[in-house]
Amino acid sequence: MERRRPPQTEEGWYVLHDFRSIDWDTWREAPERRRSRAIDEGIDYLASCEAVDDADAGESATFSVLGHKADLLVLHLRPTLSDIDTLERRFEHTALAAFTERTDSYLSVTEVSGYMSEDYFDEDSEVEDTGLERYIESRLKPDIPDSEFLSFYPMSKRRGPDHNWYELPFDERADYLSNHGEIGKDYAGRVTQIISGSVGLDDFEWGITLFGDDPTDVKELLYEMRFDPSSSRFAEFGRFLSGRRFPPEHLGAFLAGETVPQEGDGSGHPHAAGESGGHHGDSGGHHHGGDGSDSSGRDDAGRAHGGDDEDLRSELEDMGVYAGQPHGEDVHAVVLYSAADSDELFEAVDGLRANFDHYDTHVKTAVYEPRDEGSETAVVSLWDTERAASTAAGFLADLPDIVRQAGDDADDSWGTMGMFYTVKPDHRGDFTSAFDDAAGLLAEMDGHRKTDLLVNREDENDMFIASRWDAREDAMQFFRSDAFSEAVEFGRDVLADRPRHVFLA
């Protein structure tokens, strides 16, 4: 008898959804001093959890549950079961616990599986890093999004006489999940998720937690997925519970029946527009997420953290070179390079951009085509927040034929200098001619590897230069040169705005 091959899995943090109901009769009848103590100790407990004072890593969040199934949800993610166990028992020692009753809970552990990438689990295989490792890390150790709305439900794969998921060959299961994941791409920037496995830990096989600022986005995603065979034939669902996130300091307002978060006081929970969305089920799928930094200590824009970056910016500033980020000091850039056909790439980017545009944190996403046929096309995405840029990087990493992300190969060379130029239309030819002259000079410089001029396919006057050097000092020699000073002076005549020099890798 043939035994079907299960996917390999890797586990990360443990997850507890702790649902509580308030004994409202007891609460109303309790003396004020007892209620005040319960509020104070409840706030201290919840705030301590969200600050992760109890462990080296993790996440926690507090939600007001909608409907009759519960009143309060405390969501915990921690590295060990011991951490989760301790948090449960600590709550029971607060004065607030006496007014609550646990109505439900769900225990699971974050996971990734071989449906996503079999090479990741193959010790003999070299996985080309195009954001996959960062995405996997974000799945195993996820941030709880700052979205207002949450929907949680458990699910299992069907094992019936007509449709049995576990009787399907591996490749067929992987295809189902891949097609299922394509639906989630349409909800990028609107819905994000945490998928956690619960085989042997709780009643179902997975726990799915979806987050979004608009509940109807979650509803539409789930409704559309109902028609996909991965759900219609093979999925069985438990009950759904929904909630609204609020800061721990608003616990008193929550118990008093007031609006939470309270508007206008500046302390409501921030909504991190630009969080990612995706599909769910059996931990298969595509990349959409990241932790915002890689092992080289650089963020998703490729900028080095700490003093080195500041020293570099200061040195350039002393030379009269603006070394800020594009479009302002607080914008975060993600740049990826693709070997795909430009038209195919643009179509995919345009679909993502339509969803990115739902959020105020999205500044710009564009495709830049190289003038050199031997170079890759670049996708540049700019965001107001590092978290939003990090999440967008995960979605962008799933674009066709991505070969690298700026910053991923920083150990091999000192970073790509990205210079964004808005050229006056009448001087576009002057600018490209000047670039060709500069490229000739660069080719003769020690430590210079390659420089490309890329043009926004939607705006020929918007250009992006990417250069790569053996080391930082090699690049700085160029910026200290007379040739670069002349280029800066030339730019004042032909550019519509001052250039933004961005350290991308």
Which segments of 357-481 does DSSP mark as H helices, in order?
386-396, 428-443, 472-479
Q: What pLDDT does 475 receive?
A: 79
Q: Are 130 and 403 in contact (CB under 8 A)?
A: yes
> What gap in Å lies between CA 315 and CA 414, rounded to an integer?
17
Tally the domains of the chain.
2
Domain membership flag for residue 146: yes
Catalytic residue, from 153, 176, 368, 421: name it.
153
Judgement on whether residues 350 and 491 belong to the same structural domain of the protein? yes
Residue 307: exposure state from Cβ atoms within 10 A (0-12, 13-18, ≥19): exposed
- Residue 273: inside a domain: no
What is the DSSP track for 148-209? SEEEEEEEEE-B-SS-BGGGS-HHHHHHHHHHHHHHHHTTTTT-EEEEEE-TTTSSSSEEEE
Which of 238, 255, 272 corresponds to the end of one domain? Answer: 255
Global pTM value: 0.60
How would you write the pLDDT of the chain (505 residues) with one tens digit per residue?
567 878 788 899 999 999 999 999 999 999 999 999 999 999 999 999 999 999 999 999 999 999 999 999 999 999 999 999 999 999 999 999 999 999 999 999 999 886 665 555 555 555 555 556 777 788 899 999 989 999 999 999 999 999 999 899 888 988 888 888 788 878 877 899 999 999 999 999 999 999 999 999 999 999 999 999 989 999 999 999 999 999 999 999 999 999 987 444 434 333 333 333 333 333 333 322 333 333 233 333 333 333 455 566 566 666 555 555 444 445 677 888 899 999 999 999 998 888 888 777 888 899 999 988 778 899 998 887 777 787 788 788 889 999 888 766 555 666 655 666 889 999 888 888 888 888 888 888 888 888 888 999 999 999 888 888 888 788 788 777 777 777 767 777 788 876 665 554 3
Co-location of 227 and 331 in the same domain = no
pLDDT at position 294: 32
Task: Let me know if residue 283 belongs to a domain.
Answer: no
* Domain match, 188 and 314 both: no
Return the pLDDT at 383.
83
Q: Is residue 164 part of a domain?
A: yes
Asked if 341 and 244 sit in the same domain, the reply is no
- For residue 171, give its domain range: 9-121+129-255
pLDDT at 328: 44
Catalytic, 187? Answer: no
Output the pLDDT for position 112: 86
* pLDDT the model gives residue 9: 84
Structure token pair of residue 226 = 């109902």
Residue 281 falls inside a structural domain = no
User: What's the CATH code of the domain at 383?
Assistant: 3.30.70.100
CATH code of 49's domain? 3.30.70.1030
Domain closes at, from 212, 229, 255: 255
| 207: in domain | yes
Supply the pLDDT for residue 277. Answer: 34
The answer to whether residues 318 and 440 belong to one domain is yes
pLDDT at residue 141 in the model? 93
Position 120, amino acid: Y
Q: Which amino acid is residue 267, in one-letter code?
A: S
Measured CA to CA in angstroms, residue 79 lies from 8, 10, 52, 90, 202 at distances of 20, 13, 11, 17, 18
Assigned domain for 155 exists: yes
Residue 268 lies in a domain: no
Phi first, then psi, for residue 56 (nearest 5°) are -75, -20
